[in-house]
Amino acid sequence: MTESEPITRLLNDWQNGDADALTTLITTVYNELRQMAHGAMRWEREGHLYTPTVLVHEAFLKLREQGWDTAFRDRHHFFRILARVMRHILVDHARRQSRQKRGGKLERAELDEMHIGQLQPRFVTLLDDALEVLRSRDPVKSDIVEMRFFGGLSLEQTAEALGLNTSAVYRDWTEAKEILRKEIVS
């Protein structure tokens, strides 16, 4: 049995009405989700409203608010959706921060691991808008950015979550950063 089969089975059991499967699923993936949230939070400013634990709990609450109506196909799909939910939580927070600090000067930021930290809320909202444009053009590249930037996953973890090889993810990550830079500047 592969690593993803138990999670896929739990997802299927839970979606078929087995309430115990949800409890087992959360217990099984909780540490992975916390690591994912920790990776996402490392890009945020110190003193951020969310901690990794709070972000994971908030992500599950958001899914529950939406009626848990997403039909998760497998482990990969589950983690992609949770990375997307975490993205929306962090972007919504950045939008609220940006509204509170209207008139602030926007600093240039790069989408490289060495420069992502300390992003201004306004840049995060511009990035989110550019990511939506990228999603309409190339959903895979958008998923990669979401999982790397907002999900905090490494290239290898992203490749595993998307079922791609690492070199393809690296190439798409590099191309996606360039597309996003152009979208943000224009």
Which of 59, 103, 64 shows the shortest CA–CA distance to 82?
59
Residue 125 structure tokens: 């909202």
The residue ranking higher by pLDDT, 141 or 48, is: 141
pLDDT of residue 45: 62
Q: Is the pLDDT of residue 107 over 60?
A: no
The pLDDT-based confidence of 89 (bands split at 50, 70, 90) is confident
pLDDT of residue 69: 52
Residue type (1 letter), 12: N
Between CA 39 and CA 41 the distance in angstroms is 5
Assign 45 to helix, strand or coil.
Answer: coil
Mean pLDDT of the 164-176 span? 95
Work out how many domains the chain is built from and give that number: 1
Q: Is the pLDDT of residue 55 over 80?
A: yes
The residue ranking higher by pLDDT, 56 or 2, is: 56
Residue 118 phi, psi dihedral angles, 5° rounding: 65, 30
Between vectors from CA 132 to CA 113 and to CA 65, what angle results, nearest 5°?
A: 95
Mean pLDDT of the 94-116 span? 53
The pLDDT-based confidence of 44 (bands split at 50, 70, 90) is low
pLDDT, tens digit, 9 for 90 and up, residues 7-26: 889 988 888 888 898 889 88
Q: Which range of residues forms the domain containing residue 145?
A: 4-185
Mean pLDDT of the 142-171 span? 88
Between CA 158 and CA 183 the distance in angstroms is 23
Residue type (1 letter), 23: T
Between vectors from CA 148 to CA 143 and to CA 154, what angle results, nearest 5°?
A: 125
What is the value of pTM for the model shown?
0.64
8-state DSSP, 109: -
